[in-house]
Every structure is written in structure tokens, then in C-alpha cells.
Amino acid sequence: MSKLEPLYDKRYQCLFCQQKFTNKKVRLISIRQVGRDSDFCGYFEGENPYFYDVAVCPHCGYAFTANFGPVKKDRRELITEQYIKKIKYKDYTGRRDLPTAIKVYKLAYLTGTLNQEKSSLLASLCLRLGWFYRYSHEPKEEHRYLRRASELYQEAYAQEDTKTTEEAHLWLYLIGEIEGRLGNYVVARQWLSRLLHVPSLEPYLRNLLMEIWEYYKEKIAEDKSENQ
Ligand SMILES: [Zn+2]
């Protein structure tokens, strides 16, 4: 019977209090992706694996993903005062719906900010929050989080020395793609143009890039003709 169950209990050790707990995860074999937007927002039939990428410790409430680093010594007191002492509801160990997923990602954005996690990590949380508000058809909130994601990817691109070439390409693409979604077509093309002449560009990105490059070119032309 358990083989048919799409969710299973994954074991975690809390990065803040070190206690052990479980949160749900979607079994890889039961993930059914039925669509994808040009910023990689996936659509799923049945359980959405994104909802379960944030673990929340039911003992202390600390929220984190697999990419979080250890809690920094000099951030511990601040995290205790501004987060641990304030969080009231901590049990996210069960199945998650969209509103619950939004809550846990906001918690992870908060702990990640307090623990000074990398900009690229915080950007990925904001991008997902943007997608979640796209699922729920709340464009104002979607744009708020996409805007923050673009800012954080720009910070990451400028500052993170540890980035791989592939990461740098992906961030450039995402910044351009997000700016386009926010209606900033000229800015979008400026960011995307940096990828146009990269000979080693990953084929999956090259295809997406050419599609949106043309699309935003048309949009700019439309804007111009409307303003004339
Ligand atoms: Zn904990």
C-alpha cells in the first residue's frame, strides 16, 4: 500500500536546535509535470514537489531548504530574538496545500535573510513565491516576489564569486525573463543580450532564450507604435 502513497516522511536534523524530525516529501516516481512556463514554473497533476522543499522544525520552528548553510554563530541570538521567540505555529509536518506552501516559503525567506544566506538562495525562494501567487491568480503579489527575485539574482550575479558558469547563465536568463514579465522589455533585452553570444550556452537555455528574445523584441515594437 505504502508504495502507492505519493508522499513519504523524510528525516531531517534541525539546523538551529539539532533535534530530529520528519516533513513530507513527494516521491520522485509520483511527480507528474504537465506544463512549464518560460521562467521554469512547473505545473503538476497531483502533489506539487515545490511545496515540500522547505523543512520546518516542529520543535523550534526554524525553516530551511537543502541549500541552507549551518546557523551562523554570530546570527544565533538575532534569530532567537526575531524569529524563534516569535513563531507560534510550527507544525508543518503533514500534507501541504498552496496557502501552507506560501507560509513555509515565507518562513524560509525570513530565516534565510536573518542567517545571511546567499542572495541566489533567497532569490530562488522569492521566485517560487512568485510562482505560487501565479497559481493562485494574484498578479500583484506575484510581481512583488518576482521583483525581489530579480533584485536578488542581480546581487548574486554581481557579488557571488563561487558561482559556476552554468549558474551565471541561468541567473542572467532569469533576470531577463523576470524583467520581461514585469513589463520592462528594454531592460529584459539588455540582460538577455549578454547570453546571445555565449558559445557554450546550455542548449536548453539557448532555445528558451531565442523564443523570449523575439517575443520581447515584438513587445518593444508594439510599445513604440502605441506611443507614436
Ligand atoms: Zn529546531
Per-residue pLDDT tens over the stretch 187-200: 999 999 999 989 88
User: 7 CA to middle of ligand 1, Å?
Assistant: 22
Is residue 1 very low, low, confident or very high in pLDDT (cuts 50, 70, 90)? very low
Per-residue pLDDT of 192-222, as tens digits, reads: 999 998 988 999 999 999 999 999 889 888 8
User: 53 CA to middle of ligand 1, Å?
Assistant: 16
User: 154 CA to middle of ligand 1, Å?
Assistant: 32
- Helical axes 185-196 vs 203-227, angle rounded to 10°: 150
Per-residue pLDDT of 99-158, as tens digits, reads: 999 999 999 999 999 999 999 999 999 999 999 999 999 999 999 999 999 999 999 999
User: 16 CA to middle of ligand 1, Å?
Assistant: 5
- The answer on pLDDT for 2 being more than 50 is no
User: 85 CA to middle of ligand 1, Å?
Assistant: 12
User: 159 CA to middle of ligand 1, Å?
Assistant: 30
User: 141 CA to middle of ligand 1, Å?
Assistant: 29
User: 84 CA to middle of ligand 1, Å?
Assistant: 9
Mean pLDDT of the chain: 94
Rounded to the nearest 5 degrees, what angle is found at the Cα of 188, between the Cα atoms of 192 and 198? 5
Q: Let me know: does 58 contact 92? Beta carbons within 8 Å.
A: yes
User: 18 CA to middle of ligand 1, Å?
Assistant: 6
Cα 60 to Cα 34, 71, 104, 152, 213: the distances in Å are: 36, 13, 14, 28, 46
Output 1 or 159, whichever has higher pLDDT: 159
Cα 210 to Cα 35, 104, 172, 195, 198: the distances in Å are: 19, 35, 14, 10, 13
pTM (2 d.p.): 0.94
User: 151 CA to middle of ligand 1, Å?
Assistant: 30
User: 129 CA to middle of ligand 1, Å?
Assistant: 23
Which burial class, exposed, middle or buried, applies to 177 when counting CB atoms under 10 A from its CB (0-12, 13-18, 19+)? Answer: buried
